Amino acid sequence: MAHHVFPVRVYYEDTDHSGVVYHANYLKYFERAREHLLGPDELVRLLEEDGVGFVVVKASLRYRDGARFGDVIEIRSTAKQGSPYRAVFVQEAWRPGGTKPAVEAEIELCTVNRDGRLVKLPDGVVARVQALLAGA
């Protein structure tokens, strides 16, 4: 299936004293990738004009290997399913030269309005998820 690719460099800030990337930081990388996948300018517009923002409702991660300082890891993202209210992304972090993903994740998101109430996913988000599902 087609996937969106987004590179992330590992800096001092990302690692912990064990020498590898701190486990929570992959959630940040996956979010950065999703923002690029969906279009950062459109996300700003949605938030400022329509008052619509994203919330993560579920996340599951499996860690196989630890990325290290200086690595440029590749975040590969695609969609698993979509509904009018939920988008489910399948995301992987690959170390340079890796033969399998260092981290695999499934992240489920909803959108909320300024009062924090659930709203239907904006059309642009649904379209992007459909395109990923179709392998575009």
Which residues contact residue 89 at a Cβ distance below 8 angstroms, ignoring those fewer than 6 apart? Answer: 30, 34, 77, 78, 79, 80, 106, 107, 108, 109
Q: What span, in angstroms and rounded, lies between the C-alpha atoms of 41 and 60?
A: 27
Q: Does 126 bind its own copies (CB under 8 A)?
A: no
User: If binding is defined by CB under 8 A, does position 101 make contact with its own copies?
Assistant: no
Contact between 32 and 88 under an 8 Å Cβ cutoff? The reply is: no
Residue 50 binding its own copies, by CB under 8 A: no
E-strand stretches of 10-102: 53-63, 72-82, 87-94
Nearest-approach distance from CB 135 to its own copies, in angstroms: 27
**Catalytic residue (one of 14, 16, 71, 115):** 16
Evaluate whether 96 touches 73 at the Cβ level (below 8 Å). yes
Of the candidate spans 55-63, 83-91, 92-100, 124-132, the one that interacts with its own copies by CB under 8 A turns out to be: 55-63
Closer residue to its own copies (CB): 57 or 134: 57
**Could you give the residue numbers annotated as active site?**
16
Query: Rule CB under 8 A: which residues touch its own copies?
Result: 9, 11-20, 22-25, 27-28, 31-32, 35, 40-41, 43-44, 47, 53-63, 66, 68-70, 116
